[in-house]
Each structure stands twice: as C-alpha cells, then as structure tokens.
Amino acid sequence: MGPEAMASFQTATTAAEARSAELRLVARLREGDEEAMTAIIGRHRRRIIRVAANALRDSHEAEDVAQDAFIKAFREIHRLRDDRAFASYLYKICVRLCMDRLRSRRPEPGIVDGAEPSGGPGVETRVVVERLLEQLTPCLRLTLVLREMEQMSYEEVASAMNVPVGTVRSRLHAARERFRALWVEATKES
C-alpha cells in the first residue's frame, strides 16, 4: 500500500471511529448522561456557533442561538429516529433558530453592528458585505451563508433548511444574483 492509499485508509478509519464515538454518545445522551451532553457540546459547539455567527452576523446572538440549539436538541432527542443523523438534526435546529431570528429582525439602515469602516480596505469590504447580506431576504441570506461561507454541500443545506435540493439551487442562484447587483451598486457609489 502506497503512502497516498495509507493516508486515505487512515482518514477513513478515523472518520469511522468518530462516527462510532458519536453514536455511543447519542445513545448515552438518550439515557440522560450529562457527560455525554458535555462531550457532544464539545464536539459541535464551535461549528454551531460559526454557522449561527455567519448567518446572523452577530457573535453574541450566535452564542445564544448555539445554546438554544443544544437545549432544544437535548430536550427533543426522542424525535430523532436515527442516531447516525444527530449532527444533521442539531444543525437543522440551529438553522431554524437563525431563520426565526432573521425573520423577526427589521432591516436597519446604516452601519451593521455599529461597526465603522476603519483600519483599511479589508474592514471596509467586510462592512459592505455585511450591509449587503442584511438586504437579502432571510431565506436567500441563509442559503448563501451556508453554501458559500460554511462550505456545506447542496444536500447539507437542503437538509438543514428542510427544503429540496432544487430549492437550494434556485435560492442560491437568486441570492448570488441579488448580492452581485447590490455589490455593483454599492461599489459604484464609492
């Protein structure tokens, strides 16, 4: 077995071991094991917070959403039919909580999160991107964030948003076109 094949084998073995460990944790979670809860939070916390922060563009709100997602997932673990789908289940809850928060927001004109453009073009570009993302509808924004920023596959986005893959593709196309038009308009003014 060559070095590339060995590396591929080791990666597959590690992934299989991680899936197996996750299954054991979920089984223990169903029994109310608090150590399993802590371990599951440790495994998923950073990515859940990152997903929420990218969707909501607010790190404090992302922390709240992450906490709410874990609480809801743990309380409603009985609804999960297949323990192998726990991570997907958790991300779906997180995305739905983000969607709820985005829908309840009222667009505010001006600067996002009180940030002022200072410190160079990188910061200015980020502020412009955040402003433009705020102008997208919640569904378009979340679809774009999950696919482009979180690098989720179309299938993962569809599962998280509980929509067909075709809907993800059409929303993504619409989001990209709308964002592109907003970008051209925003950068033309500068």
Structural tokens at position 102? 């985005």
pLDDT in tens, the chain (190 residues): 666 655 555 555 677 887 888 889 999 999 999 999 999 999 999 999 999 998 888 889 999 999 999 999 999 999 888 888 898 899 999 999 998 888 787 654 443 444 444 444 567 777 788 888 888 888 899 899 889 888 889 998 998 898 999 999 999 999 999 999 999 988 886 5
Give me Rg for the CA atoms of the chain: 19
Q: Which of 113, 100, 97 is nearest to 49 (CA)?
A: 97
pLDDT of 115: 41
Angstrom distance (rounded) from CA 157 to CA 92: 9
Angstrom distance (rounded) from CA 129 to CA 136: 11
- DSSP letter string over 108-134? --S-GGG----SSHHHHHHHHHHHHHH
pLDDT of 106: 60
Q: Can you give the residue ranges of every domain in the chain? A: 1-105, 118-190
What fold characterizes domain 1-105? Rna Polymerase Sigma Factor; Chain: A (1.10.1740)
pLDDT of 169: 96
Q: Determine the CATH number of domain 118-190.
A: 1.10.10.10
The yes-or-no answer to whether 1-105 and 118-190 have a common fold is: no
